[in-house]
Amino acid sequence: MAKIAPLSGFPEFLPPARAVEQRVLASLQHTFELHGFASIETRAVETMASLTRKGEIDKEVYTVQRLRADGGEDAKLGLHFDLTVPFARYVLENAGHLQFPFRRYQIQKVWRGERPQEGRFREFVQADIDVVGQGELAWHHDVELPLAMLEALGRLSADFGLPEATMRVNNRLLSEGFYTGLGVEDPMAVLQRVDKLDKIGPAAVAESLTEELGMTRAAAQACLDLASISSADGSFVERVRALGVSNPMLDEGLEQLARVVAAIGEAMPGGAVADLSIARGLDYYTGTVYETFMAGHEAMGSISSGGRYDSLASDGRSTYPGVGLSVGVSRLLVPLLGKGVLTASRSVPTCVLVAVDSEEARPGANSLAARLRRRDIPVEVAPTADKYGKQIRYADRRGIPYVWFSTGEVKDIRSGAQTAADPDAWTPPEADRWPTVVRAEG
Amino acid sequence: MAKIAPLSGFPEFLPPARAVEQRVLASLQHTFELHGFASIETRAVETMASLTRKGEIDKEVYTVQRLRADGGEDAKLGLHFDLTVPFARYVLENAGHLQFPFRRYQIQKVWRGERPQEGRFREFVQADIDVVGQGELAWHHDVELPLAMLEALGRLSADFGLPEATMRVNNRLLSEGFYTGLGVEDPMAVLQRVDKLDKIGPAAVAESLTEELGMTRAAAQACLDLASISSADGSFVERVRALGVSNPMLDEGLEQLARVVAAIGEAMPGGAVADLSIARGLDYYTGTVYETFMAGHEAMGSISSGGRYDSLASDGRSTYPGVGLSVGVSRLLVPLLGKGVLTASRSVPTCVLVAVDSEEARPGANSLAARLRRRDIPVEVAPTADKYGKQIRYADRRGIPYVWFSTGEVKDIRSGAQTAADPDAWTPPEADRWPTVVRAEG
């Protein structure tokens, strides 16, 4: 017998936690569809050429190979590590069949071969929304996408009690323009180091800027000063100006960020703040970048990130600029489920257990169950003919609220109330019909 | 630029086909939950030890490895090729936290490294229902599970116009008992050859039985005679008896099959027929086995298969016998979508496009859209301020039925009817609110 043990980094849920995840995913899907995003799914595998063309990420890829690969004829494949790279490939492959701007959402598992650690997984669920244009994409989508995501997250708070989310927004042109204005030749190298601010702190970032990149202490300090700026309104612009760096790309970035933050704030006051420490490690972003934090769970890191990318997808004739955000659903849910903050009202979909007195009575119980199901009530028939007490215990262990007896009576096993009922008319309270998400208080 | 081309065997859908798939999956999920099956998902990977322990299948496994695997410390992993093996592992791993009999459904992608061919994929979606007991599982679940699956498939026919499905049922004890009664030492070897009857025909099966297994012509003929028997009622029993083979396991199989077919027929007349040619290649089945065919599409093969397994999961202390069925969702849908038999009423979720006259009017259009969304109406705001004609064309190309103008009027672009409307009161006909599945006639 093979050893049975969990695999580190591959979370799996028991049924109640899975019921919560299902409801969270359905809620995200619903909000995305209300905003006109169409669902797509892409295959789990991409060619290694496609996965590694942006560099840096290749150490995290899981490669995939047929056990009996008969040499050479197959493309080298790997599991996708995000949904953006597959989406870009999908757009190029199907451009002739899509209408642009093309709005899609995509909820799928992704895989990363990194070492598992707190809050990091090797297999996890992401939920992405993106819009891509053909040739061009208006700036207002940089406002629309974060608003749609904030609405989706807001609905999770309202419906399931998840902590409230705030978005932090920056702009790549702003950072790169600032670094360039400081005389830096490789602004991406600075960005990647500033990206570690949260993890390693300002002193270590300053050290790596001066020692690894040869920046002056003053220049390194200016980078830290820039990263320390945040504001819910447009006041960040003056504070950046006060640092005395000037560069046309910086001007463009400041203008874009001010416009985006103002427009988000107008539609959803308090929804987003400008935060000039936001860097995003991946190098395909070219403008606005987003990170999102849950109140009281900031240490969890960003639960929804994204940005504008002007050249991720290009087929030589056209480029397909886009902007999008991704929610790390597993990253958000696993800690809340693990700590018992969220659970489901019961471990099974079943609302009514139809009791069975004797095996001879089973066909009758089955047809009674079918009548209830026809009216959209989830029903199980007791697997064993048994005494009423045992049937009630069966229901109780699973959280099934009602037991229907062959006497034609239905019992709410929580209150003990038992009444005669007509299977073609009896209806449970709506709150009992399906399992619901329950938030533990305190 | 990496070459962009579809990968053979990895089907991906354009948005309208994906919309159909979503609705089909939601319908299956709904029926399964009405029957009290709880959702679980298992990780995509299993240890190779777990995947290969039943033999035979190993040539089809995709192995998975970190690109920079640093030697030895990771378990050897492969992508799951079905949902039954992962489910068995999940049950053993979580037995202490589950209530038995445990009823679960599982809708996930699976991967097989086989050569792609018509109707066969390397990545595809399966939807499984199973019930497992601890130590024992009553025979009536052999009736319950196919009935739940037939109901799920029946709902697909009723709601989306999929062809009607009929189940064909056999029993392993019956076949093995018969072969043993004929004097065969390795009944599994006979079963695997009879399983190819559809593909290679009776003459080739007879040849392989005599030449490869050394059976007499008479014995081989008896196997073919057995496989030719089918009946919607219990009359198959007499026809088997007439072949003159006797064996206690055969008796048990005949009795089980007669009982199961009678009980299915009582609950759903015409839903299932006894068909003694049904073998099922995988060797973990130990009793009832099922295959399901769609009327007019029998050449597609079985769209839902399964059976009883008494010893798939065992942890030394307990065994967990189960019975279950799996629908090959991709296998069922890809041909119907490819031939255009099924499509969606539009390519986006959007019901209403809010027109934008000028960029200054965009915030107003956005808040109108938000008001409609609050009443659960899927809305997009036009991405480009433009003349009304262009806005209508934008909607028309996507199949969006309504355009809302800044004059406060809404136009049904199919009929051309345009009326003044209150955004806090106007509601589309229910049939227009979300995309629906459309079946091409003829």
pLDDT in tens, B235-257: 999 999 999 999 999 999 999 99
Q: How many CB atoms neighbour CB B211 within 10 A?
A: 10
B39 CB neighbours in chain A (<8 A) are 15, 18-19, 22
Who has greater pLDDT, A169 or A74?
A169
**Residue B97 burial by Cβ neighbours in a 10 Å radius (0-12, 13-18, 19+):** exposed
Reading the block at residue B294, the tokens are: 């769609």
Query: Comparing A380 with B58, which gets the higher pLDDT?
Result: A380
Domain A15-343 matching CATH 3.30.465.10: the answer reads: no
Task: Indicate which of B14, B32, B35 best probes the interface with A, i.e. most A CBs within 10 Å of its own CB.
Answer: B35
Q: Please, what is the angle between helix B362-374 and helix A248-267, to 10°?
A: 40
Which amino acid would we find at residue B371? R
Answer whether residue A282 shows pLDDT above 80: no
Write the pLDDT tens digit of every residue in B259-270: 999 999 999 999
Q: Which of A311-320, A336-345, B248-257 is predicted with the least confidence, judged by mean pLDDT? A: A311-320
Contact A64 B67 (CB under 8 A): no
Q: Which of B36, B47, B60 sits opposite A350 (nearest CB)?
A: B36
For residue B142, give both structure tokens: 């052999």
Residue A50: band (very low, low, confident or very high) from pLDDT cuts 50, 70, 90: confident
Q: Which pLDDT score, from 0 to 100, does residue A339 have?
A: 86
Interface test with B, best of A14, A65, A67 (most B CBs within 10 A): A67
Does residue A74 have a pLDDT over 90? no
Judged against a pLDDT cut of 60, whether residue B3 lies above it is answered with no
pLDDT value of position A2: 46
Query: Pick the residue with more confidence: A313 or B375?
Result: B375
* Whether pLDDT at A206 is above 80: yes
Buried residues in B53-91 as b, exposed as e (16+ CB within 10 A): eeeebbebbbbbbbbeeeeeeeeebbbbbbbbbbbbbbb
The pTM is what? 0.95
How open is the CA angle A193-A199-A203, to the nearest 5 degrees? 65
Find the helix or strand (DSSP H, E) in which A73 lies: none
Q: Answer whether A431's CB lies under 8 Å from A438's CB.
A: no
Q: What is the pLDDT of residue B118?
A: 65
Cβ contact (<8 Å) for B266 and A363?
A: yes
Helix axes A172-181, A248-267, angle to 10 degrees: 150
Put simply, whether B53 touches A (Cβ < 8 Å) is: yes
CB-closest option in B10, B38, B123 to A349? B38
pLDDT for residue A436 = 97
Residue B138, pLDDT > 80, answer yes
3-state secondary structure chain B: CCCCCCCCCCCCCCHHHHHHHHHHHHHHHHHHHHCCCEECCCCCEEEHHHHHCCCCHHHHCEEEEECCCCCCCCCCEEECCCCHHHHHHHHHHHHHHCCCCEEEEEEEEEECCCCCECCECCEEEEEEEEEECCCCCCCCHHHHHHHHHHHHHHHHHHHHCCCCEEEEEEEHHHHHHHHHHCCCCCHHHHHHHHCCHHHHHHHHHHHHHHHCCCCCHHHHHHHHHHHCCEECCCCHHHHHHCCCCCCHHHHHHHHHHHHHHHHHHHHCCCCEEEECCCCCCCCCCCCEEEEEEECCCHHHCCCEEEEEEEEEEECCCCEEEEEEEEEEHHHHHHHHHHCCCEEECCCCCCCEEECCCCHHHHHHHHHHHHHHHHCCCCEEECCCCCCHHHHHHHHHHHCCCEEECCCCEEEECCCCCEEECCCCCCCCCHHHHCCCEEECCC
Q: Nearest-CA neighbor of A327 among A159, A126, A154?
A: A126
Q: Does B50 touch chain A (CB under 8 A)?
A: yes
Between the ranges A161-165, B64-68, B257-261, B385-389, where is the mean pLDDT highest?
A: B257-261
Report the pLDDT value the prediction gives residue B55, as an integer from 0 to 100: 52
Task: Find chain A residues with C-beta within 8 A of B367's C-beta.
Answer: 267
Query: Looking at chain B, which residue has its C-alpha nearest residue A50?
Result: B2
Cβ-contact A224, A206 below 8 angstroms: yes
Supply the pLDDT for residue A284.
83
Q: Which of B14, B58, B111 sits opposite A94 (nearest CB)?
A: B14
pLDDT given for residue A199 in this prediction: 86
> What is the predicted pLDDT for the residue at A298?
87
Six-digit token pair at A380? Answer: 């199980």
Enclosing H/E stretch for A331: helix A329-338
Place of tokens 């050893």: A3
User: How would you label A340-377 residue by residue, b for 16+ Cβ within 10 Å and e otherwise?
Assistant: ebbbbbbbbbbbbbbbbbeeebbeebbebbbebbeeeb
As a whole number of angstroms, the distance between CA A416 and CA A376 comes to: 24
Distance CA B439, CA B437 (A): 7
User: What confidence score (pLDDT) does residue A126 get?
Assistant: 97
Q: Which residues have CB under 8 Å from A242's CB, separation 6+?
A: none
Task: Give φ, ψ of A137 to 5 degrees.
Answer: -150, 120
Torsion-angle region of residue A231: left (phi > 0), alpha (psi -120 to 50) or beta?
beta
- Which residues on B lie below 8 Å from A150 (Cβ)? none
Q: How many residues does chain A have?
A: 442
Chain A residues with beta carbon closer than 8 angstroms to that of B71: none
Confidence tier at B184 by pLDDT (50, 70, 90): very high
Q: What angle do CA A139, A143, A147 make, to 5 degrees?
A: 155
Q: Is the ipTM of this complex over 0.90?
A: yes
CB contact under 8 A, A62 and B61: no
Tens-place pLDDT, residues A227-279: 999 999 999 999 999 999 999 999 999 999 999 999 999 999 999 999 999 98
- Give the B window 271-330 contacts with A, CB below 8 Å: 314-316
Locate B298 and state its tokens.
């029998």
Q: Which A-chain residues 196-255 have CB contacts (< 8 A) with chain B?
A: none
What amino acid is encoded at B3 in this protein? K
Angstrom distance (rounded) from CA A210 to CA A221: 10
Q: Where does A100-233 show beta strands of DSSP type E?
A: 102-111, 123-132, 165-171, 230-231
**What are the chain B neighbours of A104 within 8 Å (beta carbons)?**
15
Of B11, B62, B316, which has the smallest distance from its Cβ to A64's Cβ? Answer: B62
Q: What is the pLDDT of residues B380-436, one digit of tens each?
A: 999 999 999 999 999 999 999 999 999 999 999 999 999 999 999 999 999 999 999
Stretch(es) of chain B classified as CATH 3.40.50.800: 348-439
Distance from CA of A366 to the nearest CA of B (A): 8
Question: A-chain residues within 8 Å CB-CB of B1?
Answer: 314-316
pLDDT at residue A68, rounded to an integer: 74
Biggest alpha carbon–alpha carbon distance for chain B: 88
Decide yes or no: CATH 3.40.50.800 for domain B348-439.
yes
Beta bridge partners, B343, equal B438
By Cβ distance, the residue of A33, A37, A383 closest to B101 is: A383
Position B73 pLDDT exceeds 80:
no
Which residues lie closer than 8 Å to A299 by C-beta, 6 or more apart?
Answer: none
Compare CB distances from B59 to A49, A53, A68 and report the shortest one's residue.
A68
> Which pLDDT score is estimated for A314?
80
A contacts of B90 (beta carbons < 8 Å):
12
Task: Give the containing element (helix H, strand E) for A69.
Answer: none
**DSSP H helix total and E strand total for chain A:** 14, 19
Question: How would residue B199 be classed by pLDDT, with cut points 50, 70 and 90?
Answer: confident
Please, are residues B383 and A101 in contact by the beta-carbon 8 Å criterion? yes
Task: Give me the percent of chain A exceeding a pLDDT of 90.
Answer: 81
DSSP state of A97: G
A22-26, B244-248, B280-284, range with the lowest pLDDT? B280-284
Asked if B270 and B166 touch (Cβ cutoff 8 Å), the reply is: yes
Task: Return the CATH class of domain A346-437.
Answer: alpha beta
Q: Identify all chain B residues contacting A123, using CB atoms and an 8 Å cutoff.
A: 43-45
Which tens digit of pLDDT belongs to each residue from B300-351?
889 999 999 987 778 778 899 999 999 999 989 998 898 888 999 999 999 9
Distance CA B88, CA B67 (A): 29
Residues of B in contact with A44 (CB under 8 A): 44, 79, 109, 111, 123
Instruction: Report CA-CA distances (Å) from A192 to A91, A112, B163, B300.
Output: 28, 20, 56, 53
Out of B62, B109, B315, whose CB is closest to A4? B315
Q: Which of A43, A144, A334 to mutate to test the interface with B (most CBs of B within 10 A)?
A: A43
Alpha-carbon gap, residue B133 to A420, rounded angstroms: 32
Tell me the shortest Cα–Cα distance from A365 to chain B, in angstroms.
11
Element (H, E) at A172: helix A172-181
**Cβ <8 Å between B140 and A362:** yes
Please check the confidence at residue B1 and state whether its pLDDT lies above 60. Answer: no
Question: What average pLDDT does the structure give for chain B?
Answer: 92
Residue B139, phi then psi, degrees to nearest 5: -65, -25
In 10 A of CB A29, how many CB atoms? Answer: 18
Asked if B270 is an interface residue toward chain A (Cβ–Cβ < 8 A), one would say no
Classify residue A410 as left (phi > 0), alpha (psi -120 to 50) or beta. beta
% of chain A surpassing 70 pLDDT: 95
**A22 vs A25: CA distance, rounded Å:** 5
- How far apart (Å, rounded) are the C-alpha atoms in residues B133 and B104? 12
Nearest to A297 by CA among A345, A248, A338: A338
Encode pLDDT of B157-180 as tens digits: 999 999 999 999 999 999 999 999
The residue with greater pLDDT, A2 or A190, is A190
Residue A66 DSSP symbol? E
Question: Which residue among A1, A7, A19 places its CB closest to the CB of B75?
Answer: A7
pLDDT value of position A250: 97
CB-based contact A373 B316, cutoff 8 Å: no
Q: Which candidate from B10, B14, B44 shows the least CB-CB separation from A97?
A: B14
* A64 min Cα distance to partner chain B (Å): 5
Q: What average pLDDT does the segment B352-379 reach?
A: 96
Q: Which amino acid is at B209?
A: L
What pairs with residue A320 in β-bridges?
A313
Query: Cβ separation of A267 and B363 shorter than 8 Å?
Result: yes
pLDDT at B2 (0 to 100) = 46
Chain B contact set for A33 (CB, 8 A): 349, 378, 434
Closest to B347 in 3D by CA, of B11, B13, B19: B19
* Interchain contact A57–B (C-beta under 8 A): no
Give the 3-state secondary structure of residue A247. coil
User: Is residue B283 scored above 90 in pLDDT?
Assistant: no
Tokens 């979580």 sit on residue: B94
C-alpha dist (Å) from residue A426 to A95, A399, A411, B37, B334: 52, 20, 12, 22, 40
Mutate to test the interface with B, among A30, A35, A58, A343 (most CBs of B within 10 A): A35
Q: How confident is the model at residue B437 (pLDDT cuts 50, 70, 90)?
A: very high
Min Cα separation B407/chain A (Å): 22
Average pLDDT of the residues in B136-153: 97
Q: What is the pLDDT of residue B58?
A: 53
Lowest average pLDDT, out of A88-102, A290-304, A389-403, goes to A290-304
Q: Is B98 on the interface with A (CB under 8 A)?
A: yes
B168 touching chain A per CB within 8 A: no
The distance of A236 to chain B (nearest Cα, Å) reads 24
Min distance A350 CA to chain B CA atoms (Å):
5
3-state DSSP of B207-232: HHHHHCCCCCHHHHHHHHHHHCCEEC
Place of tokens 């028939």: A381
B397 touching A (Cβ < 8 Å): yes
Distances B285 to B306, B318, B345 between C-alpha atoms, Å: 8, 18, 42
Q: Is B112 on the interface with A (CB under 8 A)?
A: no
pLDDT for A53 equals: 72
| Rounded Cα gap, residues A151 and A271, in angstroms | 9
